[in-house]
Structures are given as structure tokens and as C-alpha cells.
Amino acid sequence: MRTRLQLGSSPAEHTPLDDDVADRIALAADILAGRRFAVLTGAGISTDSGIPDYRSPGSPPRTPMTLEMFLSSADFRRHYWARNHLGWRHMDAAVPNRAHLALTELQQRGWLTRILTQNVDMLHTKAGTRGVIELHGCYGRVRCLECDWRISRHRLAELLEEVNTEFARRVRGRGAIEVAPDADATLSDTSDFVMIDCPNCGGILKPDIVYFGETVAKDVVDESYSVVDDADALVVVGSSLTVMSGLRFARRAHRAGKPLIIVNRGGTRADEIATLKIDHEAGFVLPALATF
């Protein structure tokens, strides 16, 4: 048995660790001892970086973007891109928090193999984690739905700035704007925003993000299955596993008889099959786990 976790001071904005949570973290360390484990992360790991999630306790109701909505009309896409033109900057400015950094440290020690993430915020990559599989894409790329032409979000922003100088100037005076986990911003008046078509073929440009209800690419799923199969255990962090894109990996690990540890605020769809559940913030649990 490893040494019991020594509790230290905690940021005021977090819920303090109680003895039960501390004991569960120590138990997680014992379960993972000598094992190389994979990690699946969701939006709950990024809330400390200022990026909201959809389903944690106390989160306001938000409607994720669907492909059907995006393709419904050119006017809707213009409205969406106007909001995204503001929201992606907030996500781009976000920095990894201590939960992301703890995972990078665990990988550098050779314990963590790879991360599968449902997040599009690129914070694992910013934290220095290698080989991250982005199940739902990322905010930093844009592609054409017709010819698959690609462009970075930074470069597209420059092109949009050239044709939306008045829009940008007007919106800057509004102050703080709420941003969703998919980089969509809350903004109602977008009538003066101009969206461009694909410079290569004139097709529809879309963020390289898997919208709610879309299917994750088969090659991405296959690679992710291989990561789970090659690992000795799976740790889920900050995901309610509401959608199958994440739940299937938890179920696969369980069917293979591998330890499944879940760190999440609130319930998940895999709680009943979890080897261990820690109902607490990732920003506390992962750095504490890394001390063992």
C-alpha cells in the first residue's frame, strides 16, 4: 500500500478535499501502480482554464451545434461564423490548467500512454502532452465541406477581419461575451457580418469540429480503440460520457477486464461499471494523483 495522500492548501474557488476523496485518490494510485494507462478527457477538465462545459452541476443550459443546424441555411451559417469569429479568440487565449499539466507529467514519467479527448480546445497539446487524439477535432482548423481544403483558424480570422472591419469595431465595445465549449459566442446582432466561401472551390467552410450528432471518423475511432486495447487501464476525466463517442471506450475497457477509474463532478453513464469513481474537480485530483 502506498503512503496516504498528504493534503495541502487549496485554491479558494475549489471545493476542499475531504477524507473520502483523499482516500479514493490514494486507492486510484494503488490501482494504477505498475500499470500504463490511457486517459479519456471531456470538457470538465478545462473549466479551470475558463472554458465552460455543458453538463456539470450548476452549468447553464446550452444547446450544442448540430450539422443539421449548420447546413440549414447560408444565413444561419453567417450568424454562426460571426459568433465563432469572436468565440475562438477566447479559446485560443486559454492556457492549460494544473489538471492538463499533471497529465503531461504522468506521460513524461512513462505511466500515461496517450490521451483521447472530446475537447476541441487544444489545451492538452498546449500543455506538452504528446500523441493526443482529438475525437471531436479542434477549433484551430477549418475545412471545406466540398473539396476538403484546409486553413488554420488564425489565417481565416485574418481574411475575415479584412471584410468585417466595422463588425469587429462594433463588437469590441460590448465588453465580455459568453463563450460555449465549442468556441461559439453568445451574440444576437450579426446582420453586418460577412462570411467568405472556400477560396479554392467556393464551397462551405466549417470548423474542423465534430458537431453534436455527427460521427467521429472511423480511422480516429480505430486508433482510439487501439490505444485503449494497448493500455492496462483507462482513466476518464471530466466527462459525463453522455454521448457514445466517449462511452464506447469506457465500455471497451470494462469488457476487457481493465480497471476503469472515473474522475468527474456529477454522475456519468459508466458509473455502474467503474472500478472507482472520484466525484471531485480534476484540478484537485490529477495533481494529487501525480504526487504518488
Q: Of the residues 181, 209, 237, which one is the last residue of a structural domain?
A: 209
CB 43 within 8 Å of CB 99: no
Rounded CA-CA distance 39/260 in Å is 10
Binding residues: 144, 147, 198, 201
Q: Are residues 71 and 205 in the same domain?
A: yes
Binding residues for Zn(2+): 144, 147, 198, 201
Name the domain count of the chain.
Answer: 2
Instruction: Summarize pLDDT for 159-191 with one digit per residue, the tens.
Output: 999 999 888 677 665 554 555 555 555 566 678
Instruction: Summarize pLDDT for 113-132 with one digit per residue, the tens.
Output: 999 999 999 999 999 999 99
Give the pairing type, strands 150-152 and 137-144.
antiparallel
What's the domain range around 179? 67-93+139-209
In a domain, 62, yes or no: no
Entry pTM: 0.86
Which residue in the list 90, 100, 136, 280 is annotated as catalytic?
A: 136
Interhelix angle 282-289/19-32, nearest 10 degrees: 50
Listed in sequence order, the residues at least 6 apart from 93 whose beta carbon sits closer than 8 Å to its beta carbon are: none
Active site residue 280: no
